Structure 1
């Protein structure tokens, strides 16, 4: 197999994974993103190919797919791997910015669903900021912003309900 063919097969599998994700076929999207990473690993060692960047795109799709399947621990693992690349070299205004936003959003959802509320709030806030800063199109932008606000309000309600009865903040106590 020539490297050009391997690159094409890798990107075709990634494209198929993204398509399946948009269709809501989360299991198939996860399988296709894993297949894309397998194809990319078959390239000869001397070939010039950004494996880290490509894997980050695959892990971004995988994280969103795992969140869609309710597999939140797997989502956190995949999103951590994707963010390892995006947080160092990601460009919000480039095409990969869409995947970066999706990873941060999925991570926030996964933290919320696993009960790690402070990290959930941090990631949801970050995703919201990234969405508003991004210029250009972002499919599902309005739905994502609504979901962020819904989850943030749930998190704030949860935080209020966990306070002790009669709790007063320090400024209320001393006034």
Structure 2
């Protein structure tokens, strides 16, 4: 029998983190992400629960929350953990594509904040491409694009909005 209580608690904690991020309460959101992962860790591994995927969702949100409270090294570690999953299994136009984009953006912004400017710019360009390629709704799309443009302003002459004819982004081959 599936441990319904633990699954429900895990998803409720992640939903709470989403709500707190939306309200700008980033420290509390980070705590809620950690609680969600703690709850999901109590679900036995033999149960039909995607532990790796759920942890990636939590790590993506945790990275965003930590970045916004200035904990850049912890944010980078969380983004890397999320991207370990998403870069192998993510599909841009599925529901989890939103979190994949959030993890890429969070990692790129964190890299900039920690002095890895060139890698940060590359990540921001990738995040913009992913946002532009995503079909369907994406909550916060305009805010993400605005943050990307503000971070890229005056940073790189290689920043381009147009794509070459026949261009396909690398993640399209996985989606």
- Counterpart for residue 61 of structure 1: 61
- Counterpart for residue 92 of structure 1: 92
Q: Deviations over 1:109-137 (max 9, x none)?
A: 10111110111011100100000000111
Measure, in 2, the Cα distance between the counterparts of 1:115 and 1:138: 29
Greater Rg by CA: 1
Measure, in 2, the Cα distance between the counterparts of 1:74 and 1:154: 27
Measure, in 2, the Cα distance between the counterparts of 1:142 and 1:121: 19
- Counterpart for residue 164 of structure 1: none
Measure, in 1, the Cα distance between the counterparts of 2:40 and 2:94: 22
- Counterpart for residue 108 of structure 1: 108
Measure, in 2, the Cα distance between the counterparts of 1:49 and 1:41: 11
1:146 and 2:146 aligned? yes
Aligned 1:1-175 pairs, distance under 5 A: 3-156=3-156
Measure, in 2, the Cα distance between the counterparts of 1:134 and 1:80: 21
Structure 2 unmatched runs, 5+: 158-175
Moved >2 Å (runs of 4+): 154-157
How many residues align? The count is 157
CA RMSD of aligned residues (A): 1.5
Measure, in 2, the Cα distance between the counterparts of 1:131 and 1:45: 34
Q: Deviations over 1:115-162 (max 9, x none)?
A: 1011101110010000000011111111211211111124238xxxxx
Measure, in 1, the Cα distance between the counterparts of 2:45 and 2:83: 24
Larger displacement relative to structure 2 (42-51 or 126-135): 42-51
- Given the two structures, how large is their TM-score scaled by the length of structure 2? 0.86
Measure, in 2, the Cα distance between the counterparts of 1:116 and 1:36: 30
Q: Deviations over 1:79-137 (max 9, x none)?
A: 00000000000011011111111111111110111110111011100100000000111
Higher helix share: 1
Measure, in 1, the Cα distance between the counterparts of 2:13 and 2:100: 19
Measure, in 2, the Cα distance between the counterparts of 1:64 and 1:154: 24
